[in-house]
Structure formats: C-alpha cells, structure tokens
Structure 1
Amino acid sequence: MDHEDTHNRGPSTDLRTPILAIRHAICFTCLQAFPTLKKCVACKRVSYCSPKCQKIDWQRDHKKTCKVLAESNKRRAETPRTSRSWEQYRSEKWLDIVAFKAQNPKFTEAQQRILLYEPFCRHCYRSAPQLESRNQLRPCQICHIAAFCADCSQEHPASECKTFQAIRQDETFAIQHFQMTRRDFEILCTEQPRETYLPLSTAIGWHDYFTRISDKAEFLLEVTSEMQPATDDLTAVKLAGLMRLASGTSSMALTVLAALEAVFPDISTRTTVKLHFIGAADPELNSLMVFEELLHLLPSLKGLELTFVGFELPEPSAEDTAMKLECCPTCTAASRTRSLRLWKGGYHDYVNIDGYEKPDLAVAFHTGFSQEMKEEWLPTIQYLAAAPHPTLFTSYNEKEMEEETTILDGIGANFLQPAEINKWGGLCPMLEVMEEKEGSFYFMHQYRYLVAGKDT
C-alpha cells in the first residue's frame, strides 16, 4: 500500500479521482458512463465522452498531467513485453512510482492515483504500454474494474468480480452524491437524542443500529439487513447507497462509543467525556458533526470535549481556548455542549504543555505508524504504550493491524481489548492495488484494538 496516498483517506470536500474513471469505465470529466469513450491521443490514460469534456479537463489539469503519464508510459514500455507474475508487476509499479516522484516532486494526488490504479491484464499483468498496438485491454463487462488483454481469458474469479461490483456500485453512488451536494461523505446522526440508554453493544450490525438504536427505520424499509437495496427500484438503490456512504463517517462515532462502553462500565451515567484524537486531519475536521451522536446515544452526557492533535491541522488561535461547537436544538435546550481544541504537532509533545488534561479516551484512527513516518510516530507510540489512559487504534487491513500490535506488544503496551474486526467499520470496500495479495481491498476502520499502560 502506498501510504502517502492512503493514510489521509476519508471524508473531504473534494472528490478523489474515481477508479472507474482511471479504468476507462466513465468519462474523466463528467464522470458519466457512455457506450463509447475516446482516450487522450497523447497519453492514452484518460478517456472522455466528448471534445467538450476533453477541453475542460485539459484546461483544468490534464495539460500538466498528460506529460507525466506519457513519461510513465515510456518507462512501462521499456520493460519486457512478456507475461509477468503479480510480484513482478508490483515491483515494476513501485519503480514507476519512485521515478514519478523523483521527476515530479510537486505531484498531485490525482496524478499519483492515475498511476497507482492503471489498468492491467488480470492474467498476464501487462499494462497498455507493454502490449502490442493491436492488443487492447478490454474491461470486464460485469464489474468494469478488472481488465483483460486479447491473449488471455476474459474472465476472473467470481468472488473477486462480486467485490469489484460492490466497489463500482458504491463509487457510482458517491459520484452522484458529490455532484448533488459537493461532498464525498454523508452524516446521518440520530435525529432526536435517546431518552433511555440502549448499549451499542446490543446491536448486531449497521441495520440494527440504524433501525433500533438510531431512528432511521423509515430509511431502511427497502434496504436489506446486508445494507443492499431490497429491489431494483430507484428509491431503494438510493437509500441503500446513502446508508452505506454514511457508514464511512458514522464509523468514527460508533467505533469510539463501542470503545467507551468496553472501558467504562458506568458510561451510561457519565456527564462529561474527554476525547483526544491523535494524528487528526481532514477526515475528523470535516466530520465534526458526527460526534454529536455520542450526545444523542448517551442520555446522561452533558459535555463532550474534543481535542484534535496532529501535524496536518491548521494553526490554532493564539489563545488556548476551546471552540464551542453547535449542537442540535434539543441538545442545546438541554444545556448540552460540545467543544473543540486544536493543537498542531505530535501528541508526545502535546502532553507536556501547560493546561494538558488527561483524556478519558485517546483515539488514533488509521495512523499507519508501522509503515509510514515511523520515526515521527515512534515517540508518540512509546508514550501511548505507557499512557495513564486507554487509547483506541483502528487500521485499514489485517497486515497493518498485525504490524502495529507487534510493535506495541514489544514496547510493553497492555491490550485492554485485543485486535479484532470492527463491527462498526465502514461498509464500502475500497480497492488496494499494491498489496502482496492481488485484488486486496479495505474498509474504513476495519480493525480496532485498545491499549493502555500496564498500571492504568
């Protein structure tokens, strides 16, 4: 996995270049599907439905990107044109990415995504520049993500195709949602705060949470327990898509609540909760409203204090004061409050400032500390392994989880809750392209675990 691309994944106010566009399934500009699309003549890496869309993209970005992609094509063409293994493909791709970064130090995320998700033959692992001109890649007519050259079978495993269909379905809805709202995420909090506490642990999954603990039952009348449309009706398709998209954001609040329930037997009677988010960035900032769900599901809770600490945060104001966040009318009438503090830097430094207060729970979403920026993260990880408070960690996949827990175990962390698949992980699968296992995919907050110092 390329963590410079993936460890900032999450809600934003800009839509990431869709895989469907990179795989030539939809127009690169308007993001709509058409029977025929024409590739850029120069780079052949992006496709358009019309000269108008091509002109728009040329002026927007492709004028610069086209040259970058042509350079990548040249590097790929210089490799052998014979079949290769998945391991050889990954090795060649890494070399291409390294050369790309060296030649383009000011590269954009969109440019890197086009390189990472480049189409290739599912069987011989050759990309277009490595194929003869007569041998064009053809997409799978079912999922539109896998591709095949003319020399190879035009099929791939049914289980893989099914996952790719889900990726296509969710990405298509996300595109439509973004074009309507200019957001690539959605927040569906409980409309009215609960009057009685119902433990999240009693819910068997997302459908049960939305219908029994939250108040979204009417949204799920045409949605199955697997959070899929019950019929082909457009309303059912849209509602299922909306709920699945919202799970990526709601996952943050519910994963935190599940950790609070696991650590604090008295969570239902607590009046205040202090949360510190370590390595916080755009995903947390853009989804601040979702944390009001904690106020809505914990009837006794009066004050929710959030502190975001991370290198990617904006500089806070000169005064070290908490910002008061808006609450819903019902919470406001009940004198409930939410506050936010920002601190730019590492958490191991933050704990030494004047006015630091120990949190009830620290939260480290998707840090990737075992693979990315190891030296920068090490002091913070060492502190958290001995911290006098619990810390919740989440990771995208099993490999990251295993690497992270091995490191923490090695430096003496006490595991309050062992690593496990997170029941409240996001529902939308997202494609991995550089993992050791071909066709890998991940989910938001797929794994979770809780640690603390041994004396906590």
Structure 2
Amino acid sequence: MSTLQPSFPARWTRLSIAGQACTTCKTPPPPERSLLRCTRCKRAYYCSEDCARAHFPHHKKLCRILAALLFNYIDEQPCEDLAEWNRRVADRMVQLSNHLERRLDYQEQNLMLFEPRCHVCFVTALALELEISQDNVNPRTLIPCPKCRIIACCSEAHWDSYRSRHDTVCDKYVLSVSCDNLLFKHDDIRWMQKEYVPVDGPGSYPPLPTGGWPSYFSWRQFPEVLSDPEETATAYRTLLTDRLSQPLTILSALQLAQEPSALRALPTLTIHLAGASQHEILASWATEEIMHCIPALQSLHTVLIDPTLDSKPIINLSLAVCPTCTTRSRSRIFSTHALTYHDFVSSPHYTRPDLVVCFNSGLHEVDGEQWRPTLRHIVDSGIPCAFTSYNKKEVAEDAAVLRELGARIVCGPKRNEWGSEVPLVEPMGVDVFYGNSTWWFVVMGQK
C-alpha cells in the first residue's frame, strides 16, 4: 500500500507551505534564526543545506515553473473580497497546470490554495515581498499568528480588526497543524485492537456503543500509546478518528441492513466503495476493525471503484491481519477498479456486495451522467448504500438527489457520530472548517 502514498520529500504540510517549517524534514526554525529559502521560486524553505539538496530532485521542475509565474505577483493589489481571491487562485492553478501539462496533484493544489496571505485583504506574502517599498530596502512581510503559525495578516491594523475572530478558531488551526505534522512523521497512523469484542454478554457487537468516539475508545480500551505532550496525544487520537471513521461508518450501516443475530454470525462480507479516493486507500488498513467486531467473520473483501483510481487494477490483494486473525485463518482482501460504478457492475469482476458506501461523494455537484446511472442501479437493486458528506448543506442536497430517484432513506440525513474529528480547512473560505464523513444517510431500495 505504501506505493500508493505520496513520497516523503514530495509532501507539503501547512506549516511548510506557510514558510514556518522545513519543506524537506518539516522542522520549525529555532527562535534565534530563520529558515533558508529557495531563491528561485521563493516557495520552499529549508533548515539546512542538506535538506535543500535532498529536496532538489523532487523540486526542480516545479521550482522552475513557479519561478516563471512570479510575474503574477508584481504590482498585485489586495482583493476586494473573498470571491476575487478565489478567482485569482483558480487562475494561478490553471496556469500552473498548463505549464506542467497535466492536472495538479494533491500537494500542488494545496501549495496554491493555502498560499500565505493576509486574512483581511488577501494580499500575498510574495506580493508584499516583490512590492517596491518607499526606501527600496525593506519590503513588508506577513505577520503570522504566534500560536497556530499558519494564519497571518499584513499589518498590525489588520490584526486588530481580525484578532477577536481568529481567537475563536485558533485552536482548530492548531489541531489541524498538529494532525498534519503527526501524519507526516508517521505515514500509517494506526491502532490495531488485538482482542475481539465478546460474542455474548455486555459489550458484544452489534450494536456499536452510543455516544460517539469517547464511548468507542472506552469500549475498545483505547491505549494511551503516547506519553508525550498533550497536544501530540490529542492529535494522535484525532487522526485515529479519521482512519477509523471508515470501518465504524460501515459497521453502523450494516447494523441498519441486517438483524443482529445474522450480522453476528456473518462468515463473509463484501463492501464496495463507490467514488473511492486516495483517502479510502490510506484508511484501508483500518478495515480489520470490521473483522474484530464481527466474531464469525472469516473473509472481508473491500473493493474501491472510481474512474480516477490507477488504471491498472488491483485484484484480490491480501492485506496483513493481526496475529489473532492469523491464527483463526481470517483473510482480508483489497481490490481497485478504475471505472464508474455502473460500468463496474457490468464487468466480470462484479459480485453483489453486502453494502455499498459512497464516502464524501458530493454527488450533487458532479456530472449527473457519471452518478445517475450508478444511483439508479443502487436504488433498483435494493442493495443497502450509505452516503457521507462533509457538511450539513451537502448531505441535504445529496439526499434530495436520491429522493428524486425514489430511494427509500432509512437513516438520516443527520450527523454521523463516526465522522472524522480532524478539522479540515476550507481553502476557498475564511475560517471555514469541514470534516470527512461528518454527515450521512442510508438508503435501502425503493420507497
């Protein structure tokens, strides 16, 4: 699975984008000195010449293009409003994509979307630096928040007008940065429960405990694996909710689709993830929690389907299981197919699943020709299907699409108590946050 993840030197964290950490090793600068900087593109920062040299093979092509696009920042004026800023960023992303002659990858998108800027007038750090100051010597610079370090203003006057608002959300930015840094250091943030939930008696599954993540971690005897600063332990636990959100949402949907006795005795399980993305790939290790919660389960097959996945399919790849599952001859299988779901249904690899899940589908926003045949199949087949969304507005609009198709909604739309607690920053807004799978609904056939 590691080959599907971004390479170590290629990943940019929010702090490194903001120039507050080394682009290569992500180390913040010590108080007594500043980071070195790429003099050509002015985007990459380094704690040492060794880190600069290590990053250069991965950076040189992008560096050359970013340097060529610096002219965009000369004489750039502050934006009148957020809409103008978003248009400006969109134009820059198009230019970068055209120069690269391909679509921007996730890291390149973030580099443009989270470019350091004033949170009041949206003037960028580069524009301030390239601005010819009155004495031609000392260009202005952004003033970052000393706590979160990724939010900045271009002047004390703008901080005075914005500080009270920022104070209400600064802790969210801090948690977001902490999760980002921890994920960089530990590509596979995970926690594998080694013991089964008892088949009988208190604590047996189903159902999942009520009360969301605190009750879950108590139920599963969440270990205090990190004895480090509280901020790190909190980030670790928060990242676990992001990874474990996938299997817990699946288990919650299965509870709605099957009687407890049938689910408890289930020997095999096939889950299809329609519209799957890199996020589902990275969280694939956590599907073993499904096996740990269904004691009779011997075989779990997770299939990811979406046209944007790698064109070379992965067919029945065996994933590692914990020692207890190994001794019980359990198997966990993983497959991918670069197809729309309705095309996959017609392929020789299709078998009827026990559940379909569309994580963060945003189906109301995309081309109807891509989703409508898939949704038609899901509704007509009667296969239970869970849909998750980033926020309340999106889940309501997604549910409306299913209602138009005559779907029977058996749960929601409502908050998903197994949604991720990682605060993700909406790059096209100001102080707007969202989370993976924080809202959901479940359909089962037609009305």
Q: What TM bracket, shorter-length normalisation? A: 0.7 to 0.9
Cα contact 2:66–2:96 (8 A) shared by 1: no
Q: Secondary structure at the match of 1:65?
A: helix
1 CA distance for matches of 2:391 and 2:372? 20
* Structure-1 residue corresponding to 2:42: 44
The alpha-carbon distance between structure 1 residues 351 and 129, as it changes in their structure 2 partners (threshold 3 A), is same
Tell me the CA shift for residue 362 of structure 1.
Answer: 0.6
1:204 is displaced (CA, Å) by 1.2
Is 1:345 the equivalent of 2:339?
yes
What are the superposed Cα offsets for residues 405-451 of structure 1, whole Å, 9 maximum, x if unpaired?
A: 2322223222121222221112221222114xx22222222222112
Query: Counterpart of 1:152?
Result: 157
Residue 176 of structure 2: SS of its match in structure 1? helix
Name the structure 2 match of 1:305. 301
Return the alpha-carbon distance in structure 1 between the equivalents of residues 156 and 178 of structure 2: 29
Checking the alignment, whether the CA contact within 8 Å between 1:74 and 1:129 is kept in structure 2 is: no
* Distance in 2 (alpha carbons) for counterparts of 1:382 and 1:342: 22
Distance apart, 1:200 and its partner CA: 4.6
Question: Which residue of the other structure, out of 53, 56, 59, is the alignment partner of 1:58?
Answer: 56
d(CA) in 1 for partners of 2:79, 2:6: 41
Moved more, 239-248 or 370-379: 370-379
Distance 1:92 1:314 in 2: 33
Counterpart-to-counterpart distance in 1, 2:221 and 2:171: 31
Code of the residue aligned with 1:396 in structure 2: it is Y
Q: In terms of mean alpha carbon deviation, does 46-55 or 413-422 score higher? A: 46-55
1:281: Cα distance to partner? 4.5
CA 1:191–1:102: 2 relative to 1, 3 Å: same
Q: Does 1:73 align with 2:70?
A: yes
Aligned residue among 260, 263, 270 for 1:274? 270
Structure 1 CA distance for aligned equivalents of residues 325 and 370 of structure 2: 39
User: Among the aligned pairs, what percent are the same residue?
Assistant: 26
Distance (Å, rounded) in 1 between the aligned partners of 2:241 and 2:393: 23
CA shift at 1:33, angstroms? 0.6
Q: Secondary structure at the match of 1:175?
A: helix
Distance in 2 between the 1:343 and 1:55 partners? Answer: 38
Flag the 1:204–1:49 CA change in 2: closer, same or farther, 3 A.
Answer: same
Aligned 8 A contact 2:179 2:236 in 1: no
Give the equivalent residue in structure 2 for 1:21.
16
For the residues of structure 2 that align with 1:330 and 1:56, how far apart are their CA atoms? 41
User: Partner letter of residue 145 of structure 1?
Assistant: I
Classify the secondary structure of the residue corresponding to 2:51: helix
Q: 1:195 to 1:151 in 2, by over 3 A?
A: closer
Count of paired positions: 419
Residues 342 and 91 of structure 1, relative CA distance in 2, 3 Å threshold: closer
Structure 1 unaligned blocks of 5 or more? 1-10, 178-182, 223-232
Letter in 2 for 1:261: Q
Partner of residue 89, structure 1: 85
Go from structure 1 to structure 2 and tell me whether the alpha carbon gap of 1:105 and 1:379 turns closer, same or farther (over 3 Å shift): farther
Cα offsets for 1:261-283 (capped at 9, x unmatched):
12223323433333222133444
Q: 187, 202, 215: which one pairs with 1:208? A: 215
- Assess, with a 3 A threshold, how the Cα gap between structure 1 residues 234 and 383 changes in structure 2: closer, same or farther: same
The corresponding residue for 2:136 is none
Task: Spell out, residue by residue over 1:341-394, the C-alpha distance to the aligned partner (whole angstroms, 9 max, x if none).
Answer: 444422112223457432221111223333345533332233224332111112
The match for 1:12 among 5, 8, 12 is: 5
Match of 2:418 among 424, 428, 432: 424
The equivalent residue for 1:190 is: 193
Match of 1:8 in 2: none
Deviation string 1:106-125 (CA, Å, 9 cap, x unpaired) is 34443332111101101111
Whole-Å Cα distance in 2 between the matches of residues 219 and 82 of structure 1? 47
Residue 228 (structure 1) aligns with: none
**Residue 202 of structure 1 aligns to a residue in which SS?**
coil
Does residue 440 in structure 1 map to residue 432 in structure 2?
A: yes
Q: Conserved in 2, the CA contact under 8 Å of 1:12 and 1:283?
A: no
Q: Read off the aligned partner of 2:40 and give its amino acid letter.
A: A
TM-aligned CA deviation for residue 296 of structure 1: 1.0
Rounded to whole Å, the distance in 1 between the matches of 2:209 and 2:431 is 34
2:266–2:296 Cα contact (<8 Å) kept: yes
Rounded to whole Å, the distance in 2 between the matches of 1:55 and 1:329 is 42
- Does residue 143 (structure 1) correspond to residue 148 (structure 2)? The answer is yes
Gaps of 5+ in 2: 134-138
CA distance in 2, matches of 1:138, 1:288: 40
| Cα shift at 1:163 | 1.3
Displacement of 1:396 in angstroms is 2.5
Change (3 A) 1:253 1:411: same
SS of structure 2 residue aligned to 1:417: strand
Deviations 1:181-208 (A, max 9, x none): xx2x322132111222244542312232
Aligned to 1:118: 115
What is the aligned partner in structure 2 of residue 225 from structure 1? Answer: none
Contact 2:78 2:122 in 1 (8 A): no
Q: Give the distance between the partners of 2:82 and 2:284, measured in 1 at CA.
A: 41
- The 1:236–1:357 alpha-carbon spacing in structure 2 relative to 1, beyond 3 Å, is same
Q: Does 1:265 align with 2:259?
A: yes
Tell me if the contact between 1:193 and 1:331 (Cα under 8 Å) persists in the aligned partners.
Answer: no
> Which of 376, 382, 407 is matched with 2:376 structurally?
382
Give how far 1:13 is off.
Answer: 5.4
